[in-house]
Amino acid sequence: MLGAPDRAVRVHTVTEADQSPWEIAITASRARLAPWNPSGPGMVSVHLARQSEALRTFLIRAHKGMGGHDVVGSVHISVDPGAPWGALLSYDAYDPYAQRRLFSAGFRLVLGLAFASNEGLGLSRLAANVAPANERSTALLLSTGFRLILRQESAPRRRINEDHYVLDAEDWSAGSKLT
């Protein structure tokens, strides 16, 4: 299991023991997350079953739980060695922790693990796709060093706009970078 601590949060790759608290967190956040991620707690078992070298899911956990759980958020890293983006990130911050900066702290720990070659995944590039209207997600990516590389306008039938961001290992500038 990969993991890292911070003074307020810790991160680790998911295990079966995480299913119940993760489902509680998703349920508590479902209405707020619906515009960006319509999946529900039933997806937890799917994510758990798909864990492999190609898909790693990290949970961000608060040292002090509230709202009946301690799951601050989740970060999924889908690795595709042949793709120019290296790995694609997706993530969610859960209530009641959203907007308390705990997710940002945990997200930075996950980025450190993603780029760390000794105790992490050893990736060279991460990518993330965000709906332009999702201002909080855009702010998170920009605050952690991601740069916008493509703004994709909606195709007539698709109705989805996406901004594409990348972060290269050499540009990773978090204060507590793992080595």
Instruction: Give the model confidence (pLDDT) of 10-38 as tens digits.
Output: 999 999 999 999 999 988 888 777 766 76
Which pLDDT score is estimated for 70?
Answer: 95
Per-residue pLDDT tens digits for 117-158? 888 899 999 999 998 888 989 999 999 999 999 877 665 555
Interhelix angle for 102-115 vs 135-143, to 10°? 50
Taking CA atoms, 84 is separated from 88, 111, 155, 167, in Å, by: 10, 18, 23, 12
**Residue 178 lies inside a defined structural domain of this protein:** no
Counting the structural domains of the chain, the total is 1
CATH of the domain at 160: 3.40.630.30
**Residue 179 lies inside a defined structural domain of this protein:** no
Pairing relationship of beta strands 147-152 and 162-168 according to DSSP bridges: antiparallel
Phi, psi of 135 (to 5 degrees): -65, -35
**Residue 82 lies inside a defined structural domain of this protein:** yes
Cis peptide before 96 (omega within 30 of 0): yes
**Residue 105 lies inside a defined structural domain of this protein:** yes
Determine the structural domain holding residue 56 and report its residue range.
Answer: 3-171
Q: Which two tokens stand for residue 157?
A: 């039938």
Phi, psi of 177 (to 5 degrees): -65, 130
**Residue 177 lies inside a defined structural domain of this protein:** no
**Residue 42 lies inside a defined structural domain of this protein:** yes
Residue 128's identity, in one-letter code, is A
Tell me whether residue 131 is exposed, middle or buried, using C-beta atoms within 10 angstroms of its C-beta: 0 to 12, 13 to 18, 19 or more.
middle
Q: Tell me the pTM.
A: 0.86
Decide if pLDDT at 5 tops 70: no
Q: Which two tokens stand for residue 152?
A: 């994709």
- DSSP class of residue 16 equals G
User: In whole angstroms, what is the distance from residue 168 CA to residue 128 CA?
Assistant: 12
**Residue 176 lies inside a defined structural domain of this protein:** no
Per-chain mean pLDDT for the chain: 84
